[in-house]
Amino acid sequence: MRIVICGHATLFVESSDQILLIDPVFAEGLISGTLQFYPQRRFSLDQMPPPTVLVITHGHFDHFHPKSWETISRDVSVVAPRDPELLKALGEAGFSKLTIVDPWGEAVFGRTRIRVTASQHDEPEFGLIVADDTAAFWHMADAEVDPADGERVRAEFGKIDVVACKYQPVVDASMSYLRAAGDSFAAKHVCEWLEAACAVQPRFIFPYASGLAFAGQHAWFNRYAFPLTQHEAVGLLRRRLGANAVAEPVAPGDMIDVQANAVRLLPQAAAFVQSVQSEIPARWEPVDTSTLPGVGSAAERQELEDLMRACLAQPFGRWLSEALQTPDNPWRSFIAWGVVWQLVVHATADERLCFAIDFRDPAHIDLDEGEHAEANFFTHLSGATLLRVLRGEVSGMIFWLAGAARSYEKIIGVRDGRFSFPMFPPQAEFRPSDPLTFFLRQRAGPH
Residue 406's CATH number: 3.30.1050.10
Reported as a pLDDT band with limits 50, 70 and 90, residue 430 is confident
Which residue range forms the structural domain that includes residue 315? 289-442
The number of distinct structural domains making up the chain is 2
pLDDT, average across residues 20-43: 97
Reported as a pLDDT band with limits 50, 70 and 90, residue 292 is very high
Backbone angles phi, psi at 172, to 5 degrees: -60, -45
Question: Quick one: angle between helices 383-391 and 298-311, nearest 10?
Answer: 60
Q: Do 212 and 76 reside in the same domain of the chain?
A: yes
Torsion of CA 366, 370, 373, 378, to 10 degrees: 80
Using a cut of 0.85, tell me whether the model's pTM lies above it: yes
Element (H, E) at 334: helix 333-337
Last residue of a domain, one of 225, 255, 276: 276
Q: Do 299 and 164 reside in the same domain of the chain?
A: no
Q: Which strands sit side by side in the sheet containing 405-409, from one edge to the other?
A: 367-369, 352-358, 340-346, 377-382, 405-409
- Per DSSP, the residues of 22-63 read ES----SEETTTTEEESSEEEE-GGGSPPPSEEE--B--TTT
Q: Do 233 and 322 reside in the same domain of the chain?
A: no
What is residue 444's predicted lDDT score, i.e. its pLDDT? Answer: 58
What is residue 433's predicted lDDT score, i.e. its pLDDT? Answer: 87
Asked if 143 and 122 touch (Cβ cutoff 8 Å), the reply is no
Q: Do 373 and 258 reside in the same domain of the chain?
A: no
Reported as a pLDDT band with limits 50, 70 and 90, residue 445 is low
Q: Do 14 and 135 reside in the same domain of the chain?
A: yes
How many residues are there in the chain? 447
Q: Do 253 and 161 reside in the same domain of the chain?
A: yes
208 vs 426: CA distance, rounded Å: 30
Q: Do 253 and 364 reside in the same domain of the chain?
A: no
348 located within any domain:
yes
Q: Strands 136-139 and 162-166: what pairing?
A: parallel
Last residue of a domain, one of 276, 307, 338: 276
165 located within any domain:
yes
Q: Is 380 helix (H, G, I), strand (E, B) or coil?
A: strand
Asked if 228 and 281 touch (Cβ cutoff 8 Å), the reply is no
447 located within any domain:
no
Give per-residue pLDDT as tens, 322-360: 999 988 888 899 999 999 999 999 999 999 999 999 999
Alpha-carbon distance values, 273 to 22, 41, 249, 276, 440 (Å): 15, 7, 17, 10, 54
101 located within any domain:
yes
- Per DSSP, the residues of 422-440 read ----SSGGGS---HHHHHH
Angle formed at CA 173 by CA 41 and CA 39, multiple of 5 degrees: 10
Residue 189's CATH number: 3.60.15.10
284 located within any domain:
no
Q: Do 294 and 268 reside in the same domain of the chain?
A: no
282 located within any domain:
no
Q: Do 14 and 79 reside in the same domain of the chain?
A: yes
Reported as a pLDDT band with limits 50, 70 and 90, residue 122 is confident
Q: Do 438 and 296 reside in the same domain of the chain?
A: yes
* Max Cα-Cα span within the chain: 79
Q: Do 248 and 397 reside in the same domain of the chain?
A: no
281 located within any domain:
no
What is residue 53's predicted lDDT score, i.e. its pLDDT? Answer: 98
Q: Do 260 and 298 reside in the same domain of the chain?
A: no
435 vs 81: CA distance, rounded Å: 50
Give per-residue pLDDT as tens, 134-189: 999 999 999 999 999 999 999 999 999 999 999 999 999 999 989 988 878 999 99
Residue type for position 387: L
73 vs 174: CA distance, rounded Å: 37
Angle formed at CA 67 by CA 64 and CA 72, multiple of 5 degrees: 90
11 vs 29: CA distance, rounded Å: 17
Sign of the CA dihedral with 104 first, then 109, 113, and 119 last:
negative
Give per-residue pLDDT as tens, 59-76: 999 999 999 999 999 999
Last residue of a domain, one of 276, 302, 334: 276
Burial class (CB in 10 A: 0-12, 13-18, 19+), 341: buried
283 located within any domain:
no
